[in-house]
Amino acid sequence: MEGKGKSDRHLTLLSDIDLAELSSVRDENDVFLSVYLPIGRKSDLNASYIASRSRDISKALGKDLSAVFGDTMEMVGEFLDGRPVPGERGRVVFASSRTGLLRKYRISVEPETRMVLDTSPFLLPLAMLQDEYEDLCLVLLDSRQARVMTVRSNILEDRERTKIDLMNKHKKGGWSQKRFNRLRRGAIHAFIREVASDLECIRQERMRGIIIAGPGEAKKMLAEELPKDLKDMVIGMVDTDIETPEGKLLSLAEEVASIDEREGEMRCVDELRAAIMKGEPASYGPGEVHTALTEARVRTLIILKGTSIPGWKCERCGRMVPGEAPPPECPACGGAPSVVDIVEEFFEMAETIGAFTEFVEDSPFLESLGGIAAILRY
């Protein structure tokens, strides 16, 4: 299960990391190491943090698992200590010497420092980064030129550049003003149609939405020219100069996406509230949500950011109990229970059954339900 894709000297886009695959990896024992490190101004603290966490983890393990942990640390040591590449702001690794798992990612956004040894990869921080930095399409245009760009993992990249040449031949005596204006309007409309055609490829990609930016009326003209499915993907239009620097464009895109994300969160919470009020399929609280996930009835898992629910789980039979310390052995099968964060376990279950997970920044209503709820398929 060696890492796939690009060399570990290249950046990995968040959307290219397959959480569903990683969520299916499990063992009865604590053999999976997950490490999240910021790179840059905080990276001087990484070595001391890793050393401290390694000592603590080793002390908590028995002799056999301590040896497995030591072998796993040898697998990842060179990567964790390696020099950063241009644009790198974070480093993530999932590894286990027992199972052969090794996934190494250099990312362009900064994660919170974490180092966890568990029965499965610790994916919740990565899932929240993917939720925060969803892929976007950004179009910057006026009536003469256009740039189609993508924003992926906080990186702005050009996809297409289109221009038209509108020579004012009327001033040279070539055309009447009336004819020139008619030809100019026709050229602009043809140009807008060409830009709309350039956006057709967005259908094949998992984009949060399209942002149209620039001066004047070209933004509205483009939005009206788009087919319905692409028009529905437009999440904002921004007035800005055609020569706006890329750093400012990135900030504008982040601002529009953040507003759209908050609105989407509130729509999801409103849908949950309506389902509960009307007696439609919904569940909340650890017990109900766990049952629905086990039966693969969850359509959308809703998690209030910052929610943590301690509990225990038996990896042998899958029994999970929130709010209690683990017993010496599982009462159902005699397996060895382990301490878990129920929220992390629920997220992994949602990934396994193909449910969507919505992370909500702030909601008193969701907080009153215990910070965890689900909209069900049936």
Q: Are 17 and 130 in contact (CB under 8 A)?
A: yes
Please compute the mean of the pLDDT values over residues 169-178 and round it to a whole number. Answer: 54
Amino acid identity of residue 287, one-letter, is: G
Task: Please report which confidence band the pLDDT of residue 173 belongs to, taking 50, 70 and 90 as the band edges.
Answer: low
The percent of the chain in helix, strand and coil, each rounded to the nearest 5, is 40, 25, 35
* Average pLDDT, rounded, for the chain: 92
Share of the chain above pLDDT 90, in %: 80
- Please give the average per-residue pLDDT across 167-182, as a whole number: 56
d(CA 192, CA 284): 48
Domains of the chain: 1-122 (3.30.960.10), 136-261 (3.30.420.60), 281-378 (3.30.1330.30)
Distances (CA, A) of 76 to 60, 92, 334: 20, 10, 34
Average confidence (pLDDT) over 190-209: 91
Which pLDDT score, from 0 to 100, does residue 3 have? 47
Q: Per residue in 126-160, pLDDT tens? A: 999 999 999 999 999 999 999 999 999 999 999 98
pLDDT above 60: residue 172: no
For the cut 90, the answer to whether the pLDDT of residue 2 exceeds it is no
Name the more confident of 166 and 339.
Answer: 339
Check residue 181 and give its pLDDT. Answer: 65
Confidence of residue 201 (pLDDT cuts 50, 70, 90): confident
Report d(CA 349, CA 154) in Å as an integer. 28
Q: pLDDT tens across 304-347, in order?
A: 999 999 999 998 888 999 989 999 999 999 998 988 999 999 99
pLDDT for res 179 = 65
pLDDT of residue 207: 92
Please name the residues in contact with 130: beta carbons below 8 A apart, sequence gap of 6 or more: 14, 15, 17, 19
Instruction: Say what the pLDDT of residue 43 is.
Output: 74
pLDDT at residue 5 above 60? Answer: no
pLDDT value of position 204: 85
pLDDT at 79: 96
- Short-list 230, 235, 266, 229, CA closest to 252: 235
pLDDT value at residue 315 = 85
Please report, rounded to a whole number, the percentage of residues in the chain having pLDDT higher than 70: 93
At residue 115, does pLDDT exceed 70? yes
Model confidence at 62: pLDDT above 90? no
pLDDT of residue 169: 44
CA–CA distance, 308 with 218 (Å, rounded to integer) = 47
**Gyration radius of the chain over CA positions:** 25
**pLDDT tens column, 213-262:** 999 999 999 999 999 999 999 999 999 999 999 999 999 999 999 999 99
C-beta of residue 136 within 8 angstroms of C-beta of residue 150? yes
Q: How far apart are CA 178 and CA 139, in angstroms?
A: 31
* Top-confidence residue, 45 or 95: 95
Q: State yes or no: pLDDT of 50 exceeds 60.
A: yes
Statement: residue 166 has pLDDT above 70: no
Per-residue pLDDT, 165: 66
pLDDT for 170 equals 46
Average pLDDT score over residue span 204-217: 94
At 70-84, the pLDDT tens digits run 999 999 999 999 999
pTM of the model: 0.87
